[in-house]
Amino acid sequence: MLFLFAGPQAPGEIELQTRTSSTLTFDWVPTNGYLDAYVITYSPRGGSPDDVVNVQVPFTQSRITLDDLLPATDYDISVVSVAGLNEDNEIMSESSDTVFRTSRLICFALIEKF
């Protein structure tokens, strides 16, 4: 008997929730159907291949906070659904992609008058 599996659907729209100078928190519309995990890939826009980071989260999670980011920097972000994780026949969906920018770093100085 042969079973055909079309693979997981791509996650839905990615929406920014909060940002700071070093973090981005966003969520995505979860996918329907069978999947094992989501893989989030991000890197500074225009960065080198060495700057690319992949983070795997459980299929029950649809929000993530990326930290240790550079201030005032655009980040290319993609989220894919993965089925058959850790198997020879791992299948990934099309990606949902976006670009989010971290905020500027603002420094305040305390000046005392003598």
Nearest partner of 81 among 3, 12, 15, judged by Cα: 12
Mean pLDDT value across residues 25-52: 94
Mean pLDDT value across residues 84-111: 81
Q: What is the pLDDT of residue 88?
A: 72
Judge whether 97 lies within some domain: yes
1-19 residue pLDDT tens: 655 556 788 999 999 999 9
Judge whether 85 lies within some domain: yes
Percentages (nearest 5) of helix, strand, coil residues in the chain: 5, 40, 55
Distant-in-sequence, close-in-space partners of 4: CB < 8 Å, separation ≥ 6? none
Give me the CATH number covering residue 49. Answer: 2.60.40.10
pTM beyond 0.95: no
Q: Which domain holds residue 40?
A: 14-101
How many domains does the chain divide into?
1
Q: Name beta bridge partners: 63.
A: 27
Share of the chain above pLDDT 70, in %: 87
49-68 residue pLDDT tens: 999 999 999 999 999 999 99
76-94 residue pLDDT tens: 999 999 998 776 778 888 8
Cβ atoms within 10 Å of 89's Cβ, excluding its own: 7
Q: What is the pLDDT of residue 110?
A: 62
